Amino acid sequence: MASSVLAPVQERGRAALEQLGLPNRRQEPWRLTDLKRLAAVSELPASASPLSTSLPASLDGVTRLVLNGFDDPLAGQVLPEGITALNAEELEQALGHTLDRCGCAQVWPVEFNHAKAQQILALRVRGRIGPLELVLAAGAGLNATRVLLLLEERAELELMQVLLAEGASAHSHVLEVHLGQEAQLRHGVLATADGASSLMAHLAVEQEPRSSYALTSVVQGWNLGRVEPRVVQVDGQAETVLKGLAVTGAEQQLATHTAVRFDGPEGELDQLQKCLAGGQSHAIFNGAISVPRDAQRTNAAQLSRNLLLSDRARVDTKPELEIVADDVRCAHGATVSQLQDDELFYLQSRGIAAADATALLLRGACQEVIAQLPAAAQAWRPLERVMESLAP
Amino acid sequence: MIRPDAELLLDIQDLHASVEDKPILKGVNLQVKAGEVHAVMGRNGSGKSTLSKVLAGHPAYRVTGGSVRYRGQDLFELEPEERARLGVFLGFQYPVEIPGVSNLEFLRVSTNARREKQGEEELDTFAFEDHVHDKLKVVQMDPAFLERSVNEGFSGGEKKRNEILQMALLEPVVAILDETDSGLDIDALRIVAGGVNQLATEDNATLLITHYQRLLDEITPDYVHVMAAGRILRTGGRELALELEQTGYDWVDQELAAQGAA
């Protein structure tokens, strides 16, 4: 679809990649990244096969669109009233606008996506729309996808995005969302894999005043994972909620880099990022919040809570607050701990065996985020998936 | 209720225990029979709470000497969960908050663990809801607390009610209540004490650990023990608690000093 629009984008991406080269450890955002794995991802051929397993049925009333890198996601699809696909002209105008606004130009994963993406889904949303499910499935090779969503003024959408992969495959995904004034997007991301595949997901969100964006992301099981939500409140006065759960095991490495910028006053942010790191895995969180001079009366809270499930797992967490405005409330905190003996003992003293008590506590730790996913997530059994990955 | 022929449930002999290599219990002797209510009193740091945690099997406490037999069985051979399933219950002074774990689910899992050991059928979600609603009456608890995470955001009184609710569900043989009265206003104290009284039968026993007489106004003990320096210094009837209320613990220092001199 829209290859005429994508051709110049690809051209630009290739040029940028040539100029940037592969990231290196001297660059702060890549300091902790396993660059060998990144290089392997960059060399994957384009995906041409679907997943070997079939997808579970979606819940009643949920519209499902599937992006596998080669089939047209809209073929044979009746879109709910209020959602229309952008035509080539609209697309040309809108594409990349939010990325630029969110400071994603010359960012390697984005330029990589530009160079590789052959598929784009671009939708305009008007009014209040029933739940939409977007499934990104990588069978083998690189599934490079790009999605653009324009929510008009007062539009309301519940979007459940599912990223699945198996074997030596990878996702390169870039999502751009523009939220008009008073628009509301409840956005769930469930990205799960079996430990062999890799994920690079860039979520750029631009919020007009009085809009509301709530992201709940659950990411688990990627050999190399990098998830980067970047939100800009263009004139402040908007509400952003980011709830993230990152689960790593074996030798996986998963980095979550969030960036929220308030380009106007009275913006709000409520952020919780949780990591559960087991095996010899490495979980990374970098949470940037930028409050420039104009962003007076900003109210932001960021909490990073990390649980080490083994002695060899590693967590790096870094809040990065840049506050210039003087009349603001910005709270942040980070904890790294192991399962608490007192919690375990309390459960054991009620007859619950140590292993079951551990499972119950982990379930609780995950549920705090998973419970926030949109209802459509239930078709994918998110809690069960995560718990299975945590089973000893 | 004291009955000479009642079953000996808990037999503590010369119990010594340490935490972080610091000796806390230094020779506790105590026998608890079915039908009895015992109160253990004493100052802060006398070893009361340590005794309760050692009996329940807290991993931070190390038993360094002596023995405890529970219905004839060596208690220290059992994991904490096994003790609970066999009917040893510890009501916590500071019940732990567990975010994300639903109180209802927690209560169901623990109730079923105990029921299985007693040879009773496990309760499924629906049967358990009926069962737990019956038990809520014991502590006049709002069903809304079942839907919340375990103890999360509960007030002090609500946490203690939740403890007694667990006691009602687990039907312990020996219930050890560690300062259940701390942090309770008088109304909450009455409700919690009323719950404990309702659950006391001639087949089980209660060990109340407390600082204050006011709990013993609500729950009448058969025995009162005063702990000091990791041992039981004196044992009496309920009049001993009343005496303590009048005279305080100064005599304890004199008695310890006299023993030290001897």
C-alpha triplet B230, B233, B236: angle, nearest 5° = 135
B242 compared with A201, residue with greater pLDDT? A201
Mean pLDDT lowest among A239-248, B22-31, B111-120, B252-261: B252-261
When pLDDT is averaged across residues A251-273 and rounded to a whole number, the result is 97
The minimal CB distance from A351 to the residues B81, B92, B100 is found for B81
**Chain B residues within 8 A of A355 when measuring between CB atoms:** none
Subunit contact A348:B106, Cβ cutoff 8 A? no
**Chain A residues within 8 A of B106 when measuring between CB atoms:** 347, 350, 360
Going along chain B, which residue ranges are E strands? Answer: 8-19, 22-33, 37-42, 61-70, 73-74, 88-91, 98-102, 149-150, 174-178, 205-209, 223-228, 231-236
The predicted structure's pLDDT at residue A289? 97
Residue B202 has pLDDT above 90, yes or no: yes
The predicted structure's pLDDT at residue A72? 86
The distance from CA B189 to its chain's CA centroid, rounded to whole angstroms, is 15
Assigned domain for A154 exists: yes
Assigned domain for B3 exists: no
The distance from CA B12 to its chain's CA centroid, rounded to whole angstroms, is 15
User: Please, which pLDDT band fits residue A255 given cuts at 50, 70 and 90?
Assistant: very high
User: Please, which pLDDT band fits residue A143 given cuts at 50, 70 and 90?
Assistant: very high
**Chain B residues within 8 A of A347 when measuring between CB atoms:** 98, 106, 110
The minimal CB distance from B84 to the residues A349, A361, A364 is found for A349
* Contact status, residue A147 vs residue A119, Cβ threshold 8 Å: no
User: Please, which pLDDT band fits residue B100 given cuts at 50, 70 and 90?
Assistant: confident
When pLDDT is averaged across residues B138-147 and rounded to a whole number, the result is 92
pLDDT digit string, tens, across residues A162-179? 999 998 899 999 999 999
Decide: helix, strand or coil at residue B80: helix
**Chain B residues within 8 A of A245 when measuring between CB atoms:** none
Please, what sign has the CA dihedral across residues B212, B214, B219, B220? positive
The predicted structure's pLDDT at residue A2? 53
What separation, in Å, do the N-terminal and C-terminal C-alpha atoms of chain A show?
Answer: 45
When pLDDT is averaged across residues B56-82 and rounded to a whole number, the result is 96
Query: Among candidates A56, A68, A186, which has minimal Cα distance to A130?
Result: A186
For residue B178, list its beta bridge partners.
Answer: B209
> What is the distance between the alpha carbons of residues A268 and A233, in angstroms, rounded to a whole number?
9
Non-local CB neighbours of B56 within 8 Å, separated by 6+ positions: A345, A349, B80, B83, B84, B88, B90, B176
> What is the distance between the alpha carbons of residues A142 and A144, in angstroms, rounded to a whole number?
6
Decide: helix, strand or coil at residue B206: strand
The total number of structural domains in chain B stands at 1
The total number of structural domains in chain A stands at 1
Percent of chain A whose predicted confidence (pLDDT) is above 90: 83
Please, what sign has the CA dihedral across residues B95, B98, B101, B102? positive
Assigned domain for A389 exists: no
| Residue carrying structure tokens 């087991």 | A278
The predicted structure's pLDDT at residue A69? 77
Assigned domain for A237 exists: yes
When pLDDT is averaged across residues A209-227 and rounded to a whole number, the result is 98
Subunit contact B98:A364, Cβ cutoff 8 A? yes
* Contact status, residue B160 vs residue B95, Cβ threshold 8 Å: yes
pLDDT digit string, tens, across residues B29-40? 999 999 999 999
> What is the distance between the alpha carbons of residues B86 and B76, in angstroms, rounded to a whole number?
13
Chain B nearest-CA distance from A260, in A, is: 27
Interface confidence, given as ipTM, is 0.94
Question: In whole angstroms, how large is the CA radius of gyration of chain B?
Answer: 18
Assigned domain for B2 exists: no
The predicted structure's pLDDT at residue A52? 83
Residue A311 has pLDDT above 60, yes or no: yes
Percent of chain B whose predicted confidence (pLDDT) is above 90: 78
The predicted structure's pLDDT at residue A76? 83
The minimal CB distance from B59 to the residues A341, A353, A360 is found for A341
Half-sphere exposure of B145 (CA within 13 A, CB side): 24
What separation, in Å, do the N-terminal and C-terminal C-alpha atoms of chain B show?
Answer: 36
A370 compared with B214, residue with greater pLDDT? A370
DSSP state of A49: B
A105 compared with A34, residue with greater pLDDT? A34
**Chain A residues within 8 A of B113 when measuring between CB atoms:** 350-353
The minimal CB distance from A343 to the residues B58, B98, B117 is found for B98
CATH code (residue B61): 3.40.50.300
User: What residues make up the domain containing B152?
Assistant: 8-261
Q: Please, what's the b/e burial string for B197-230 (b: 16 or more CB within 10 A of its CB; e: otherwise)?
A: eebbeeebbbbbbbeebebbebbebbbbbbbbbb
The predicted structure's pLDDT at residue A3? 59
Chain A nearest-CA distance from B247, in A, is: 36
Q: Which string of DSSP letters, residue by residue, matches B119-179? A: TPPPP-HHHHHHHHHHHHGGGT--THHHHSEETTT--HHHHHHHHHHHHHHH--SEEEEES
Residue A273 has pLDDT above 90, yes or no: yes
Subunit contact B110:A368, Cβ cutoff 8 A? no
The predicted structure's pLDDT at residue B247? 86
User: What residues make up the domain containing A305?
Assistant: 3-379
Assigned domain for B76 exists: yes
**Chain B residues within 8 A of A349 when measuring between CB atoms:** 56-57, 80-81, 83-84, 89-90, 92
pLDDT digit string, tens, across residues A110-130? 999 999 988 899 999 999 998
Assigned domain for A29 exists: yes
| Residue carrying structure tokens 């400071």 | A103
Sheet holding A198-207, edge to edge: A83-85, A119-125, A141-151, A169-179, A198-207, A224-233, A253-262, A282-291, A314-323
Which of A281-290, B90-99, B237-246 tops mean pLDDT?
A281-290
Subunit contact A350:B96, Cβ cutoff 8 A? no
Percent of chain B whose predicted confidence (pLDDT) is above 70: 99
The minimal CB distance from B84 to the residues A351, A366, A368 is found for A351
Percent of chain A whose predicted confidence (pLDDT) is above 70: 99
Subunit contact B113:A352, Cβ cutoff 8 A? yes
Assigned domain for B56 exists: yes
Chain A and chain B share a number of CB contacts under 8 A equal to 78
pLDDT digit string, tens, across residues B148-193? 999 999 999 999 999 999 999 999 999 999 999 888 888 889 998 9
Non-local CB neighbours of B228 within 8 Å, separated by 6+ positions: B42, B43, B46, B249, B252, B255, B256
Please, what sign has the CA dihedral across residues B157, B159, B161, B167? negative
Query: Among candidates B227, B249, B258, which has minimal Cα distance to B40?
Result: B227
pTM for the full model?
Answer: 0.84
Residue B261 has pLDDT above 80, yes or no: no
User: Please, which pLDDT band fits residue B262 given cuts at 50, 70 and 90?
Assistant: low
pLDDT digit string, tens, across residues A326-347? 999 999 999 998 888 889 999 9
Element (H, E) at B244: helix B238-247
